[in-house]
């Protein structure tokens, strides 16, 4: 035959590698971006691993801290249908990596066939083959106890294979010995193993990246005296109040000098009076820019003392990083090339024609000095991190280039791996997702405008189960200084309660703009708009926190439930449940072990009492179908005895529009029948 003699080009190094590894999960854009987890999490990795023919394959999950060269490994277990799984616990914050290695295993293949052989002559010949494979495993084992045991087993099996007197069952018993086999499996033949060509990045953050309760307030309104500008010192006085409400992150709008040129007056007017304080987002004046502090608020020393006091209460201060300059920001003079010019030579202010924002200059991310600009902006995070700030709420990140964010966030995390970044991008879905992919820890969401049962169910199912679940962590807000949503503008207390309860229980990260929220602030600047009337963005406020209708205590009850119940500290377990009434929305969440289950039911109609039948998926929750279980409402402290999957609920919005119930039941986990607290 001539066919074998042809000259054929080969581009493959070793054609004997037969194993296939596909579809490794979790994975973000095929490993281009990092999967996100929290320190202490167990990462479940799955992959399709198979080979041609009937040989047995084996595979390992490999993982390491980024920068290490040695992999740690864990044998993967077969899930059926060529799918395999293994997991590992991430015990440090920072960057990790993982991938999968597989191989066709000669020893396992041999043993698989050996166990099924019937013909005595075949069994004897196969015993000799097995002895050779065990010998090879002994060589790989080196010189220790394993090698000794394998050598002895190999001799025993070879001897049995040659002994014509020995019965088939006895030979097979020797070859299938489980204790010896376990030793052999520890020393697999990896000479034709394949490690998947992609290394998948994993970003591990601290717990607050997944579970946090934010309270935004303007420090300049912290004074109780209308005549006096609030200070960091005043803010210290607010800490016990915020602590009682159960928040653990206090977020300040920008604390820097406010531009004087083209300063905005009250209600965003263009003709400010001499006492107008302007918008804190118009950053920078002669006395300094992004690393300076507005004189009226106090000194850096005052700020650092506030950080310390807050820290003593278990509260972190988050800063707002808004990368834009007022016309009098020092950078405008020092680095005119960081800004775009108009054809008349003036610097281009922010605009979205026909709208103009003359008090703000955006940076030009196409500047030829992009390296200088990037370093300066990353330096802002580094400066405040050096003062002790570790949480940054980033203003409008979607108007700055993605490559900058990818670089800057990774760069800051090298020195401050515990830094948390919240993306304030209220924009198109793909833009928001890209920001999450390039490194933001948390993202604002559309919750602010999702009101109906259908909208909420669709959106939170997507957030908790959709393709973004491994990198997009929602942080949901019922209001912000920019957004007084239509739903709140009637000012009904029940709506404020319901919107708060849903924010706090649908998502593990949530926040509110207070005290506007707990004091039911609800007047819009214009009918049909979403701006607050007399917005705090443009003026100082004095808040009467002692008002009888304040929601502060209610908020404290909900936040206490969040802190007491791991079920409310994650997003992934959220599952909606059917209720035969569109005014009632019901959902359950649980901790990874299912030892803590919370069921919420909310009446989203602010006007009427509603009742309905809620259907629980008892099997998914691990509850015995025929035993009663207790539902303990964490808001009212009421206790209901429920049985079976369908149970009655009724909610009067004038009393309380929500149940947040702790489910106490005998759970049917494997061999583990316990009432839990």
> Does residue 140 sit in helix, strand or coil?
helix
Q: Of these residues, 320, 424, 518, 633, which one is catalytic?
A: 424
Q: Of these residues, 105, 395, 536, 539, which one is catalytic?
A: 395
Compare residues 362 and 622 and give the one whose CB is closer to a second copy: 362
Compare residues 214 and 426 and give the one whose CB is closer to a second copy: 426
**Shortest reach from residue 403's CB to a second copy, in Å:** 5
Residue 670, CA distances (Å) to 241, 625, 626 in order: 45, 16, 18
Nearest to 175 by CA among 75, 107, 121: 107
Largest CA distance in the chain: 110
**Shortest reach from residue 59's CB to a second copy, in Å:** 14
Compare residues 440 and 629 and give the one whose CB is closer to a second copy: 440
Residues in the chain: 677
Nearest to 409 by CA among 434, 432, 383, 441: 441
Phi, psi for residue 346 in degrees, rounded to 5: -75, 160
Cα–Cα distance for residue pair 100/22, rounded to 1 Å: 9
Q: What is the 3-state secondary structure (H, E, C) of 325-378?
A: ECCCCHHHHHCHHHCCECCCCCECCEEECCEEECCCEECCCCCCCHHHHHHHHH
User: Residue 631 in contact with residue 639, Cβ under 8 Å?
Assistant: yes
Cα–Cα distance for residue pair 322/397, rounded to 1 Å: 8
Cα–Cα distance for residue pair 297/231, rounded to 1 Å: 4
User: Residue 633 in contact with residue 659, Cβ under 8 Å?
Assistant: yes
Q: Which residues does 396 contact at the CB level (< 8 Å), separation at least 6?
A: 322, 324, 424, 425
Cα–Cα distance for residue pair 290/442, rounded to 1 Å: 22
**Shortest reach from residue 277's CB to a second copy, in Å:** 24
User: Residue 575 in contact with residue 588, Cβ under 8 Å?
Assistant: yes
Compare residues 412 and 504 and give the one whose CB is closer to a second copy: 412
Nearest to 323 by CA among 333, 338, 334: 338
Could you confirm whether 52 is annotated as catalytic? no
Cα–Cα distance for residue pair 55/184, rounded to 1 Å: 17
Residue 212, CA distances (Å) to 32, 90, 121, 444, 675 in order: 28, 20, 69, 13, 29
Helix, strand and coil percent figures for the chain, each rounded to 5:
30, 25, 45
**Shortest reach from residue 113's CB to a second copy, in Å:** 5
Compare residues 144 and 354 and give the one whose CB is closer to a second copy: 354
Compare residues 82 and 207 and give the one whose CB is closer to a second copy: 82
**Shortest reach from residue 79's CB to a second copy, in Å:** 12
C-alpha dihedral (253, 254, 255, 260), degrees to nearest 10: -120
User: Residue 214 in contact with residue 317, Cβ under 8 Å?
Assistant: no
Compare residues 151 and 636 and give the one whose CB is closer to a second copy: 151
Cα–Cα distance for residue pair 265/275, rounded to 1 Å: 9
Compare residues 41 and 48 and give the one whose CB is closer to a second copy: 48
Q: How many CB atoms lie within 10 A of CB 197?
A: 8
Compare residues 5 and 526 and give the one whose CB is closer to a second copy: 5
Could you confirm whether 424 is annotated as catalytic? yes
**Shortest reach from residue 65's CB to a second copy, in Å:** 20
Compare residues 197 and 225 and give the one whose CB is closer to a second copy: 197
**Shortest reach from residue 148's CB to a second copy, in Å:** 23
Cα–Cα distance for residue pair 175/167, rounded to 1 Å: 13
Q: Give the catalytic positions in this structure.
A: 395, 424
């Amino acid at each position: 035959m001539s066919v074998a003699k042809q000259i054929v080009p080969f581009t493959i190094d070793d054609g004997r590698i037969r194993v296939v590894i596909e579809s490794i999960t979790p994975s973000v854009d095929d490993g281009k971006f990092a999967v996100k987890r929290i320190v202490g999490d167990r990462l479940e990795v799955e992959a399709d691993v198979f080979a041609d023919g009937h040989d047995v394959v084996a595979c390992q999950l490999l993982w390491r801290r980024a920068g290490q060269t040695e992999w740690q490994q864990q044998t993967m277990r077969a899930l059926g249908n060529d799918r395999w799984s293994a997991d590992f616990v991430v015990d440090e914050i920072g960057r990790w990596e993982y991938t999968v290695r597989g191989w066709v295993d000669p020893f396992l293949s041999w043993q698989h066939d050996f166990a099924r052989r019937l013909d005595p002559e075949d069994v004897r010949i196969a015993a000799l083959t097995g002895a050779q494979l065990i010998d090879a495993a002994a060589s790989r084992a080196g010189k220790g106890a394993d090698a000794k045991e394998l050598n002895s087993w190999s001799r025993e099996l070879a001897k049995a294979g040659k002994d014509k007197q020995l019965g088939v069952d006895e030979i097979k018993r020797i070859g299938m010995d489980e204790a010896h086999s376990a030793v052999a499996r520890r020393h697999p033949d990896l000479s034709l193993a394949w490690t998947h060509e992609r290394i998948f990045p994993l970003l591990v953050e601290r717990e607050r990246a997944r579970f946090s309760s934010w309270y935004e307030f303007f420090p300049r309104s912290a004074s109780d005296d209308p005549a006096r500008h609030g200070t960091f010192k005043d803010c210290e006085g607010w800490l016990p109040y915020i602590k009682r409400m159960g928040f653990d992150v206090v977020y300040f709008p920008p604390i820097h000098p406010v531009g004087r040129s083209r300063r905005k007056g009250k209600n965003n007017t263009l003709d400010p009076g001499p006492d107008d304080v302007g918008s804190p987002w118009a950053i920078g004046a002669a006395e300094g820019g992004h690393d300076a502090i507005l004189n009226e608020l106090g000194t850096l020393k005052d700020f650092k003392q506030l950080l310390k006091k807050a820290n003593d209460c278990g509260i972190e201060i988050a800063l707002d990083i808004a990368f834009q300059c007022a016309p009098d920001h020092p950078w405008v003079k020092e680095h005119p090339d960081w800004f775009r010019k108009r054809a008349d030579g003036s610097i281009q202010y922010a605009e979205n024609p026909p709208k103009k924002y003359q008090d703000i200059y955006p940076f030009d991310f196409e500047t030829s000095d992009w390296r200088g600009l990037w370093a300066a902006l990353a330096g802002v995070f580094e400066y405040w991190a050096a003062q002790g700030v570790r949480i940054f709420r980033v203003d409008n990140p979607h108007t700055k280039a993605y490559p900058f964010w990818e670089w800057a966030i990774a760069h800051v995390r090298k020195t401050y791996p515990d830094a948390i970044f919240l993306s304030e991008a209220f924009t198109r879905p793909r833009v928001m997702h890209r920001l999450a992919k390039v490194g933001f820890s948390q993202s604002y969401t559309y919750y602010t405008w999702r009101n109906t049962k259908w909208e909420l169910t669709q959106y939170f199912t997507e957030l908790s189960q959709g393709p973004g679940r491994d990198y997009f962590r929602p942080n949901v807000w019922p209001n912000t200084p920019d957004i007084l949503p239509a739903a709140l503008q009637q000012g009904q207390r029940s709506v404020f309660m319901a919107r708060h309860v849903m924010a706090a229980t649908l998502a593990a990260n949530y926040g509110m703009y207070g005290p506007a929220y707990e004091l039911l602030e609800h007047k819009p600047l214009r009918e049909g708009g979403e701006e607050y009337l007399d917005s705090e963005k443009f003026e100082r406020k004095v808040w009467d926190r002692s008002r009888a209708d304040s929601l502060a205590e209610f908020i404290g009850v909900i936040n206490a439930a969040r802190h007491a119940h791991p079920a409310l500290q994650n997003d992934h377990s959220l599952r909606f449940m059917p209720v035969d009434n569109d005014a009632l929305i019901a959902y359950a969440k649980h901790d990874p072990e299912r030892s803590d289950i919370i069921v919420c039911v909310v009446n989203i109609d602010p006007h009427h009492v509603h009742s309905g039948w809620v259907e629980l998926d008892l099997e998914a929750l691990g509850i015995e179908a025929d035993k009663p279980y207790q539902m303990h409402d964490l808001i009212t402290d009421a206790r209901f005895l429920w049985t079976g999957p369908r149970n009655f609920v009724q909610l009067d919005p004038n009393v309380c529009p929500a149940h947040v119930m702790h489910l106490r039941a005998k759970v049917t986990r494997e061999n583990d029948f316990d009432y839990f607290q």
